[in-house]
Each structure stands twice: as C-alpha cells, then as structure tokens.
Amino acid sequence: MSAKKQYVLCIDNTDYQASLITRKVYEVIPDEQAEKDDLIRVVDESGEDYLYHTSLFVFIQLPVEVEKALVAA
C-alpha cells in the first residue's frame, strides 16, 4: 500500500527566487534521512528534485478532487 502524497505551499523563496515560487504548491518526495535534518525534497522550477529547509514551506492538505487534478496534470 502506498503512502498518501504530501504537499507543501512555498511561503518564502529568499535566496531561491529562481528555484521556488511563493504561493506555489509542491509535492513532497519522501526522504526519511532529509526529514531528520528538517529538510524536504521537492521538484523545483529547474525540474530537478532538491532539498530545502522546511521553514520555506507549510504542509497543506488538499481536497481529493484537487489531488486528482494535480496527478492528472
């Protein structure tokens, strides 16, 4: 059984203006080691996955319909 996807909203892109867009939703890529250091892995605007400090984001829960739309996009 797969784990439920997690999403974050970028609230601060200081020092990462080219990589992150404020008020944009990003899907979290599970990374247990990163989580131990208060980091999360997301695919940023470069199209690659990178680690960022959790303070740049807030975790959000999306309605099922929104999650389906994101997966289909």
| Domain membership flag for residue 1 | no
User: With bands split at pLDDT 50, 70 and 90, how would you rate the model's confidence at 72?
Assistant: confident
Q: What per-residue confidence (pLDDT) applies to 68?
A: 84
Instruction: Find the CATH number of the domain harbouring 29.
Output: 2.30.30
User: Is residue 45 classed as helix, strand or coil in its secondary structure?
Assistant: coil
pLDDT digits (tens, 9 = 90+) for 6-53: 999 999 999 999 999 999 999 999 999 999 999 999 999 999 999 999
| Domain membership flag for residue 45 | yes
Q: What per-residue confidence (pLDDT) applies to 71?
A: 78
| Domain membership flag for residue 20 | yes
**Number of structural domains the chain divides into:** 1
| Domain membership flag for residue 27 | yes
